[in-house]
A and B are shown apart, each in its own frame.
Chain A
Amino acid sequence: MILTDLPGDLIRTLSMLVVITSVVAVETRRLRVSATVYGVQALLIVGLLCCFATVNPALYWWAGTAFVTKAILTPLFLFLCIKRTREVELPPLIGFGPSVVVAALLMVGFFRLTHSQVELLAPSPLAQTEAFRTNLAVASTVFVLGLYAVLTRRDAVKTVIGLCLLENGVHLSLVSLAPELSETALVGIATEVVVTVFLLLYVITGVYQQAGTTDTLRMRELRG
């Protein structure tokens, strides 16, 4: 594996764009825009995987699966669900201004933290080279932004978008952490995520039809 072959500048640019799309997908309140931005992020991830695949051809499999599940199917399911429920997100628990500040702090703070502490996550020498350091830092930043969205958003569809970001974070980290994972495992992981998203959106559509809302705070039938 010759690491100098990696297109470093391209990787850096794509990585930055992945982080920025995460913040936009979390912060925008128009759900269609959010879903579209998510789709864009998926394409960026496919691009990143192709970059890394120049040194590890096994990743072309991963890029292909990610393209089908993340860039096509997931946005499609999101659009179908948004069409049947509401188009504007319910106000989140935290106002727009503070939320952007928190997201920005999380983004910068986490990126720096993981970039400097990569050996904690990946003890292999390969993962500590620059391109893979960036990859891991981006992965954990996307993960944290997704977690933040899941925890503070009360619109059910938006929590699903947060969940997708969470998954994207983990999947990006596989490039550095598990480069030799078999194809069956990769396909298994990717398929399950898209099935999860489908089932969740299916149930949310059902909730909207029965209860007339996608507000997770008003799901209070079951208590005690």
Chain B
Amino acid sequence: MRTSILPAAAFLVPLAAGAVVFAAARLGRRLVQGVVLLASLATAAVGVAMADAVVRGDVLTAWGNELRVDGLSALLVVVIGVVGFLASAYSVRYVDQPDFQKRIGVGRVEHRLSIFYGLLLWFVGTMIWGSVTNNIIMLWVAVEASTLTSGLLVAFYWDKRALEAGYKYLMLLTIGITFALFGCVLVYAAAAATGTLTGAQPLLISEVRGVAGLLPPRTARLAVAFLIIGFGTKAGIAPFHPWLPDAHAEAPTPVSVLLSAVMIKMALYALVRTVGMFLPSWPQISVLAVVLGTFTMLLGIVLALGQDDLKRLFAYSSVSQMGYILAGVGLGTYLGCFGGLFHLVTHAIGKGLLFMCAGALIYATGRRKVSELGGLAAKMPVTGVCFFVGALALSGFPPFSGFWSKLTVYLALAQAGVWWAAVIAVVTSVLTMVALVRPACRVFWAPPAAGVDAPGAVREVPASLWVPMVALAAASLVLGLVPQIVYPFLDQAARVLAVMGR
């Protein structure tokens, strides 16, 4: 353990930059975007620096153990930082789109864009704050803060659909998260009552972990139930997922990327951080986690199969993929945690990529329904290749990263003896392939359906949109070809969670 400035810098940089952006509305769009890019790049760099320290076995702390970065926290910060940077880079040209400007109100563009970017940075900052804090109440505060900062981003277009999505998002998540507050407070009260911790120690997750077995079982059970409902709602775990497709589909695309690729993971992180400490004493929790995980993956993909709207389709697929991560991490074995966290990275890359592709299609054609698109392979080759890479990676197809991460989850489920869950996971993977590759074929290869007028002159999107896409596609391919480059990092992260065997 060593004290470091990095954990505080990781979330204070985007929060401070967000405040600057709010204040700098008059200085023009380009300056605002410059600040955003610089701040998000700095955040990603801090994340990488922390990862570098953590891989060598260090645990970074700050503010008297109030902030604590171990392997798991560092993994989350890197994912949030890197995806946050790519989403900001992607947004630079995306906001120039005539449709985007029309929807946010011509004439007030500068003002509203500064709000957009300010909230975007605060959203990233609050998610990172939640990942690095060691205080269970502050974890709750950060998770709720990330809901509040993203709430207006979801409703940003301020039309009927976006407002409906925004209302559902804020309402359902706040109700859910109130349960989590009750859960966090119960954990704190019960830990304080054990009498082995003094002062502020019962608030610190790293300290409570040590005494989790001493908590009265009935209180702990109640707390676990509340925490699962609370953080599970935000993580999009079925049956608490109904807000997710609306919010992820109606938000502006750069926000959808952040919601689907990182926000739900951060909520899952909060779930495993808090509930995970009870796993050694009550292994039954892992059965519940695997049941919820398999139910989520199956329900998500079945609902995804019926979607025509690309963004809704991807959103439901996110629900399904969260099921894999939960099933893996929830097992509590080293292999399960390793596979689950590996899939967390895979899905952040793959789903970020797919949402960016959907955004590119909207940018180029103004449409987002599969049935209204077709034959775009020749006109948009880069988007087409990226779309296929994302779809195949998430279906677990070699040589992309999804193949290894899903394989690890299957093996972990089989190793733990839950064969039925492994079978459901494999079947869901096949369905994922159908759900994601079929629209890819229709959009890029099949001719447009009869009766649909072809969109006007369609051209490939500008480089500032496709460069982030290609970066994610390349990351997916590299992790598929030489996955061992991330193993040391994943190993450190998995060790934090794994409570049973190595």
Contacts and interface: CB of A to CB of B under 8 A. Distances in A.
Given A120-B218, A121-B222, A167 B178 contact: yes
Interface stretch (A37-45, A58-66, A89-97, A216-224): A216-224
A207 B166 CA distance: 10
Contact of B164 (A159, A178, A222): A222
A219 B218 contact: no
B425 interface: no
B116 to A, nearest CB: 15
A124 B189 contact: yes
Contacts of A182: 200, 203
Interface string A172-188: 01101110111001001
Nearest to A199: B151
Most B-side CB within 10 Å, residue of A173, A192, A219: A192
A192 B163 CA distance: 21
Nearest to B154: A203
A219 B181 contact: no
A170 B181 CA distance: 8
A207 B167 CA distance: 8
Given A185-B137, A189-B181, A200-B174, A121 B186 contact: yes
B174 A127 contact: no
A196 B148 contact: yes
Most A-side CB within 10 Å, residue of B159, B192, B246: B192
Interface in B336-385: none
A177 B137 CA distance: 13
B188 A188 contact: no
Nearest to A120: B218
B177 to A, nearest CB: 9
A203 to B, nearest CB: 5
Given A163-B175, A166-B175, A121 B219 contact: yes
A163 B165 contact: no
A222 B160 CA distance: 10
B174 A163 contact: yes
A185 B141 contact: yes
Contacts of A206: 155, 158, 163
B224 to A, nearest CB: 13
A156 interface: yes
Interface in B222-281: 222, 245-246, 249-250
Given A121-B219, A121-B222, A211-B160, A203 B185 contact: no
A203 B170 contact: yes
Contacts of A199: 148, 151-152, 170
Sorting the interface of chain A by its residue count into under 10, 10 to 19, 20 to 34 or 35 or more gives 35 or more
B222 A222 contact: no
Contact of B171 (A163, A170, A189): A163
Nearest to A127: B189
Contacts of B137: 178, 181, 185, 188-189
Contacts of A4: none
A210 B178 contact: no
Interface string A123-142: 11101000000000000000
A189 B186 CA distance: 15
A208 B158 CA distance: 11
A222 B170 contact: no
Contacts of B45: none
A204 interface: yes
A150 interface: yes
Nearest to A218: B164
Contacts of B171: 150, 159-160, 163, 200
A207 B186 contact: no
Contacts of A170: 178, 181-182, 185
Contacts of A124: 189, 192-193
Contacts of B178: 163, 166-167, 170
Nearest to A187: B141
B57 interface: no
B246 A177 contact: no
A185 B161 CA distance: 35
Nearest to B147: A196
B160 A221 contact: yes
Given A120-B222, A177-B186, A203 B307 contact: no
A68 interface: no
B135 interface: yes
Contacts of A207: 160, 163-164, 167
B189 A122 contact: yes
B254 to A, nearest CB: 20
B138 interface: yes
Most A-side CB within 10 Å, residue of B163, B215, B250: B163
Given A163-B175, A221-B164, A177 B145 contact: no
A121 B188 CA distance: 11
A92 B186 CA distance: 33
A195 interface: yes
A188 B141 contact: yes
Nearest to A156: B167
B246 A222 contact: yes
A53 to B, nearest CB: 19
A173 B185 contact: yes
B321 to A, nearest CB: 20
CB-CB nearest 4 A-B residue pairs: A124-B193, A177-B189, A188-B141, A123-B193
Given A120-B222, A123-B216, A181-B188, 19 more contacts: A121-B189, A123-B193, A124-B189, A163-B171, A163-B175, A170-B178, A170-B182, A180-B192, A182-B203, A185-B135, A185-B137, A192-B144, A196-B144, A199-B152, A203-B166, A211-B163, A219-B167, A221-B160, A222-B164
26 contacts: A120-B222, A121-B219, A122-B193, A143-B182, A147-B175, A150-B171, A170-B178, A170-B181, A170-B182, A178-B137, A178-B185, A185-B137, A185-B203, A189-B140, A189-B141, A192-B141, A192-B145, A195-B148, A199-B148, A200-B171, A203-B151, A207-B164, A211-B164, A219-B164, A219-B167, A222-B164
